[in-house]
Structure 1
Amino acid sequence: MDDLRRMAVFAAVVQHGSMSAAARALRMSTSAVSQQLRLLEQGSGVTLLHRSTRKLSLTDTGARFAEHCQAMVSAASQAKAQLALAHDAPSGELRMSAPVGFARHIGPALAPLLADHPALTLRLLVDDTMINLVDARIDLALRAGRLPDSTWVARRLCDFDWVLCASPDYLRRHGEPTTPSELARHQWLVGSRDGSALQIELAGPEGAKETLRVEARIASNNQLSLEQMCAAGLGVGMLTHPDVHALLSTGALQRVLPAWRLAPIPVWAVTPQRDNQPAKVRHAIEALRAHFEATPGTRR
């Protein structure tokens, strides 16, 4: 490393034409510059400069060596510029992962970012299993709910509201519940891998609270499938409001017990590291945050 530093000093002397000028550009003393050149010559056993009281002149070997030293300095400057560019402008491949239910938000959220930065590409891995970010080389993951302990860094983007809903056809056939206790007799679509029962905690008017346990007729670990089956009239589902907002707006789904509320679910941006995030990750997180802020059924 010392030789590289001395080569950079030598290139500066050649560029500026004198040791004193190079010293000013490098913010060194003239004697320090002279010492670095002397050590470079002693280490190589070759004379690079002819020194006189009036000027410096390159030896033939020094002239050839100077070309390579200047190329080295130029390459280092370009490398530093690339680091600055990576810090300021999104570029390269952004590797993301998300559960199937959240994947629908990534296109609308990142479309403006991708349109504004042609050098940025996206590799999206959609999987409901918990992908290891390091093993899969993931830059950014969307996660929801309670996160397991890990060394990864989680930033809260927003909360999704849960809603109880069913199709109008289902409610015509089975009746519309008017109290939480009536929910237990309905057919339920439950987000679960093993088909286990669902415990629901509801907050109602004037501080009322109800906790009930419902059995699953249909269980799935995929929220999108539950939404589709709910719209098909197969039962009551506890679904995230942003994902069913359009179905509620068109009347394909109807809210059940709208005066009662469920605790929201947090949505996280998860990254393998906290510091020195590349621009592609920082901009993607802000794009996701902005998208969710404008999405009905979310809260900060």
Structure 2
Amino acid sequence: MDNLKPLLAFAAVLEHGSMNAAAQALGMTPSAVSQHISRLEKLHGVKLLHRSTRRLAPTDAGQALAAHCRRLLATVQDTRTALDGLKTDIAGSVRLAAPTGLVNAAAFQHALRRIRREHPALSLELHFGEAIAELREGSIDIALRGGGHALDEPDLVARRLAEWPWQICAAPGYLKTAPAITHPADFTAHPWVYHLPPHIELARGNERYLLNIDRGTVCNQLTAVRHLCEAGLGIALIIAGETRDAVAQGRLQILLPDWQLPAVTLYAVTPHRVQAARTTAVLRILQESFMEEAEAT
């Protein structure tokens, strides 16, 4: 293991960007990290880092070694995680990031109730937001992502949870006084509530219509879009998993249901293939809860 320490120290410096940060991550002193790297350079007769008062940067030799060291560091982390996974008790904290709109999804709410009921010693830390959570930094264990964003980074592991079509919705109260909607072209005469401007293709048989809306009320959260749509501020584009209860209870109405819209695939994304037992337990419940909802509809 002593022979591995210099390699792990070098990998940590590249990952964290400084001797001090690497030392903190490894539980060493900065001088010990520096000595390990000097030992590695002396052993192989190459310079691995360009050192300056402002930053550390790998040399050509350092870049060549970096990929091997990163794999070594990932293997060590996976080994520790696998050993933790042998524990039978599910406890500790799992950090889960999700879009704000998932708060309204019945499957997500059901999963949270199951986690609390089945693993009372487990603490779930929820981070809601529309930005893509950064998994590599280690601050998030599981990120729920929709669409192609889940597959942007090949070293991340994405598990499919659900596939939800987009739906165009409005409140019944709004529709009572608004101009009639019988074709997608009619949407241009209505105010919209949206997080991102709707640019989406609708299909009915061989007919296609490209919806392109860039005016209306813009919201920085998806949850706000649904609430304001329910309040009658206009028409909104919302994924099916977030509207099911509102439609069933009469708070929202689906417009032009005979037209098909694209679907969004929801994934649970993790930074490593090997997970701690507590993370694996949460992933299992998420997958089962979303599968149960899909089978029930």
Structures share fold, TM-score greater than 0.5:
yes
Q: 2:159 aligns with which of 138, 155, 161?
A: 155
Give the match for residue 287 of structure 2. Answer: 289
1:257-297 CA-to-partner distances (Å, cap 9, x unmatched) read 011111111101010112x2222222212211222223369
Counterpart of 2:270 in structure 1 is 271
CA RMSD of aligned residues (A): 2.7
Q: Mean Cα displacement is larger for which, 145-154 or 289-298?
A: 289-298
The residue aligned with 1:100 is 100
Question: Could you state the TM-score of these two structures normalised by the residue count of structure 2?
Answer: 0.65
Write the distance in 2 (CA, Å) between the matches of 1:250 and 1:260: 22
Give the deviation of 1:122 after TM superposition.
1.3
Question: Counterparts of 1:240 and 1:297 in 2: how far apart (Å)?
Answer: 18
SS at 2:97's partner residue? strand
The whole-number CA distance in structure 2 between the counterparts of 1:119 and 1:211 is 50
Change (3 A) 1:249 1:188: same
Would you say the 8 A contact 1:245–1:297 is kept in 2? no
The equivalent of 1:215 in structure 2 is: 214
Q: Given the two structures, how large is their TM-score scaled by the length of structure 1?
A: 0.64
CA distance in structure 2 between the aligned counterparts of 1:84 and 1:244, rounded to whole angstroms: 37
User: 1:172 corresponds to which residue?
Assistant: 176
> Which residue number corresponds to residue 111 of structure 2?
109
Cα pair 1:158 1:298 within 8 Å, conserved: no
1:295 alignment partner, SS class: helix
Residue-by-residue CA offset, 1:170-199 (whole Å, 9 max, x unaligned): 11211231111111221111222xxxx421
1:250 corresponds to which residue? Answer: 249
> Is there any run of 5+ residues in structure 1 with no aligned partner, and where?
2-78
Q: How does 1:46-61 map to 2 (within 5 A)?
A: none
Does the 8 Å contact 1:203/1:261 carry over to 2? yes
Please say if residues 145 and 267 of structure 2, whose CA atoms lie closer than 8 Å, have aligned partners that are also in contact.
yes
Aligned residues of 2:111 and 2:286 also touching (Cα < 8 A)? yes
In structure 2, the CA distance between the partners of 1:298 and 1:200, relative to structure 1 (3 Å rule), is farther
> Which residues in structure 2 correspond to 1:1-300 (within 5 Å)?
83=84, 85-86=86-87, 89-105=89-105, 106-147=108-149, 149-150=152-153, 151-192=155-196, 197-204=197-204, 206-274=205-273, 276-295=274-293
Cα distance in structure 1, aligned partners of 2:287 and 2:144: 11
Count of aligned residue pairs for this structure pair: 215
Q: Moved runs in structure 1, 4+ residues, more than 6 A?
A: 296-299
Counterpart CA distance in 2 for 1:298 and 1:239 is 20
- Higher alpha-carbon deviation: 233-242 or 213-222: 213-222
Q: What residue is the counterpart of 2:10 in the other structure?
A: none
2:195–2:225 CA contact under 8 A, matched in 1: yes
- Identical columns (%): 31
Q: Who is 1:10 aligned against?
A: none
Whole-angstrom distance in 1 between the partners of 2:218 and 2:178: 19
